[in-house]
Structure 1
Amino acid sequence: MFHALMLHEAEGGKVEVHFEELEIERLPEGDVLVEVDYSTLNYKDGLVLKGLGRLVRSYPHIPGVDFAGTVADSSHADFKPGDRVVLNGWRVGELHWGGYAQKARVKGDWLVKLPSGLTSRQAMAIGTAGYTSMLSVMALEAHGIEPASGPILVTGAAGGVGSVAVAILAKLGYRVAAVTGRPEAKAYLTDLGASEIVPRDELAEPPSRPLDKERWAGCIDAVGGTMLARVLSQMAYRGSVAAVGLAGGNELNTTVIPFLLRGVNLLGIDSVMCPKPQRETAWQRLAKDLPLDKLAGMEVDATLTDLPGLAGDILQGKVRGRVVVDLKG
């Protein structure tokens, strides 16, 4: 038997949260059984817990798009009992039962061996948010953005993706400008390595013209919507924006002028179906390029019973840093 957070669909399509004891036989098919040590909370998890976005099509359901733990049983050639593993994406926690349980059974092809130097807890303090941040940094690097290129803007900087992005970029030597609407987050972001704090209001209005003053060599954008349109108008020549989120809306009202006259690149970052070799590279880079002392300062401790309340908070932008959910108890 193991403990799990289970979602059930009630009358009228409302989603209800239950905490249940389940038998291993209830788990879906898969060639690797994992003892889950930790999970985490992402924006997408908040949507699933609240029954929003039609991400889950079949109930009952165990959510949780991330988990880290130890292989308990495996018929997959790449994994054996005792291996430490991490999982992000692959529609786990949406179409497949996820990490809000003490055990998970999945396809071994979805797992990545945890790099030496990272614990399961640290892996979930990183989670999909941090892994996505590293994919974004790698995309900027691949398009020629380096510390000498100029300042890098990070929107939604006090959130999960933004916090990790600020810390990584600062360690790599970039000048980081962090956007936040929370004045109280200034000290937190400065400690992570931000050299400039940009009030959200500066970028909250639509651009008044197709091209504004060149300000940013690169950007990691977790907001989308109007803010992304404004940022595109301020990008430097041959600058690149890694788009990773839509907390500010999924519509983009802009022009092609930044792309045509400044050669700006808009880079879509998909963490869910990202090929395994790139995932493995991202996790190796996280173990090397993310300052773990800064990671500890981002962590918010939680248990399964805290998640229903935290789901509302993360959807409203009230969660700072990274939530680490302990499944061992």
Structure 2
Amino acid sequence: MTEQVEHFPALVAEEAGDTVRLGIQELRLQDLPAHEVTIRVAYSSVNYKDGLASIKEGRVVRAYPIVPGIDLAGTVTASDTPAVKPGTKVLVTGYELGVSQHGGYAAYARVPADWVIPLPDGLSLRDAMLLGTAGFTAALSVHRLQENGVRPEQGPILVTGASGGVGSVAMAILAKAGYQVVASTGKEAAHDVLRALGATEVVSREAVLTDGSKPLERQRWAGAVDTVGGRTLSSILRNLRYGGSVAACGLTGGPQLDATVFPFILRGVNLLGIDSVYAPRDVRLTLWERLAKPWKVTDRLARAMTVVDLDALPEVLASILRGEVTGRVVVRVAP
């Protein structure tokens, strides 16, 4: 099946010398990649990776021009496979979306069938993008902590970068699951929002950092979801309780890790790498069902949600790179 659409709007990122120019353009279905499933996009979202796609030095885009947007939710309009039927509401996150092929910032997208996740009962299309890659990454982080035995009764869980997309969702999921959550942020104005999302304590970025003079320090947290990396992750490892785990899912604080083996061999701690881009399909299906039911936190997250249209995206993408975005930004594409 195919659908006849003459033109549709898209935010396109193009090289302009040493910079990237963003603008709304009219595309055609034949401009989309040749995959099995065509989707009319209702909503997308804004992630830090989308911000990186909007600048040359971001180095996440394989080649320009491209439609950014690593998330999308919408309705299937055409399909070349019986596994995905037209009329089905679906979501897509990660893989090569918005990186090496046109992504979610367009009224239509075309993707491989195995990228497509049916919208689970309990979530609307807007809910799915209120979560998006950030929500899936957060859910995967909590899932991995639980797989490694981190339980609510063992003590507080630290969430760094808590005012950002992944941090805010992780904090809300952990709170709903019964954990005591310590939120770390550099934004003093976000403290009330973080408490409303479920934080029992809010601390500054500096309160997490240690000088690194000792390979082990006092045992503070039973686990952590770290979206920052760099010195922050190094400090967390030195301060985890015996048998604790940290899910590492970001590097806004830098890619370098200055650590010793002592936390691993003297306290038995676990450093868990979180990759939401190529996560297996069965894991995606399981976690999206949890996000729709036992871990459903969209009502809480909506308190810190901003909804924008495509033409507002250039400034929003610049804002997320400047660290000025709190909570989740949902993009209304063609509801």
TM over 0.5: yes
CA distance in 2, matches of 1:21, 1:206: 53
Find the counterpart in structure 2 of residue 261 from structure 1.
266
> 2:307 aligns to what SS in structure 1?
strand
**Residue aligning to 2:46:** 41
Contact persistence 1:206–1:226 (CA under 8 A): no
Q: Distance in 2 between matches of 1:85 and 1:293?
A: 20
Q: Which residue of 1 aligns with 2:92?
A: 87
Match for residue 314 of structure 2 among 308, 318, 327: 308
Q: Percent identity?
A: 50
Does the 8 A contact of 1:224 with 1:247 survive in 2?
A: yes
Select which of 173, 176, 192 maps to 2:178.
173
Asked if the contact 1:5–1:304 (Cα under 8 Å) also holds between the matched residues in 2, the reply is yes
Partner of 1:105: 110
Paired positions, count:
328
Match of 1:241 among 243, 246, 263: 246
| Cα pair 1:206 1:227 within 8 Å, conserved | no
Match of 2:303 in 1: 297
The residue type paired with residue 250 of structure 1 is P
Distance 1:10 1:292, change over 3 A: closer
Q: 3-state SS of the aligned residue for 2:232?
A: helix
The residue type equivalent to 1:313 in the other structure is S
Cα distance in 2, alignment partners of residues 184 and 228 from structure 1: 24
1:24-68 Cα shifts (integer Å, max 9, x gaps): 111111100000000011000000012233222222211110000
Amino acid in the other structure paired with 1:115: P
Q: CA deviation at 1:205?
A: 4.4
Counterpart CA distance in 1 for 2:155 and 2:99 is 39
Name the SS for the 2:92 alignment partner.
strand
Q: Give the RMSD, CA atoms, in angstroms.
A: 1.1
Letter aligned with residue 171 of structure 1? K
1:16 maps to a residue whose letter is R
Correspondence for 2:228: 223
1:291 offset after TM fit, Å? Answer: 2.4
Alignment partner of 1:190 is 2:195: yes
Q: Please tell me whether the aligned partners of residues 167 and 290 of structure 1 are also in contact (alpha carbons under 8 angstroms).
A: no
Shift of 1:14: 2.1
Q: Give me the whole-angstrom Cα distance separating, in 2, the residues matched to 1:206 and 1:280.
A: 42
Query: Aligned letter for 2:40?
Result: E
Where do residues 15-34 of structure 1 align in structure 2 (5 Å cutoff)? 15-34=20-39
Bigger shift: residues 223-232 or 307-316: 307-316
Name which of 212, 219, 224 aligns with 2:217.
212
Amino acid at match of 1:323: V
Question: Structure 2 stretches of 5 or more lacking a match?
Answer: 1-6
Three-state SS of the structure 2 residue aligned to 1:219 is strand
1:43-62 aligned at under 5 Å gives the runs 43-62=48-67
For 1:40 and 1:206, the matched residues in 2 are separated by 37
- Secondary structure (helix, strand or coil) at the match of 2:76 reads strand
Q: Name the SS for the 1:138 alignment partner.
A: helix
Partner of 1:185, secondary structure, is helix
Q: Distance in 1 between matches of 2:41 and 2:121?
A: 18
Contact 2:130 2:298 survives alignment (8 Å): no
1:4 aligns with 2:15: no
Q: Compute the displacement of 1:148 (Å).
A: 1.1
* Cα pair 1:164 1:290 within 8 Å, conserved: no
SS of residue matched to 1:201? helix
Residues 268-279 of structure 1 mapped to structure 2, 5 A cutoff: 268-279=273-284
- Give, in whole Å, the separation in 1 of the partners of 2:115 and 2:104: 13
- Distance, in Å, in 2 between the alignment partners of 1:120 and 1:265 is 35
**2: CA distance, partners of 1:120 / 1:310:** 21
SS of aligned partner of 1:52: helix
Separation of aligned partners in 1, 2:211 and 2:60: 30
AA aligned to 2:77 is A
- Whether contact under 8 Å (2:131, 2:298) holds in the other structure is no
Taking the aligned partners of 1:32 and 1:296, their CA distance within structure 2 comes to 30
Paired with 1:221 and 1:57, the residues of 2 have a C-alpha distance of 27
Q: What's the CA shift string for 1:164-186, capped at 9, x where partnerless?
A: 01110000000000001111111
Instruction: Give the equivalent residue in structure 1 for 2:3.
Output: none
> Which residue among 114, 122, 147 is the counterpart of 1:117?
122
- Is the Cα–Cα contact under 8 Å of residues 14 and 20 in structure 2 kept in the other structure? yes
- For 1:123 and 1:111, locate their aligned partners in 2 and report how far apart those are by CA, in whole Å: 13
Query: 1 CA distance for matches of 2:56 and 2:236?
Result: 32
C-alpha deviation, 1:228, in angstroms: 0.7
C-alpha separation in 1, matches of 2:225 and 2:84: 34
Q: Secondary structure at the match of 1:285?
A: helix
Matched residue, 1:154: 159
Give the Cα separation in 1 of the matches to 2:185 and 2:275: 23
Aligned counterparts of 2:77 and 2:305: Cα–Cα separation in 1? 27
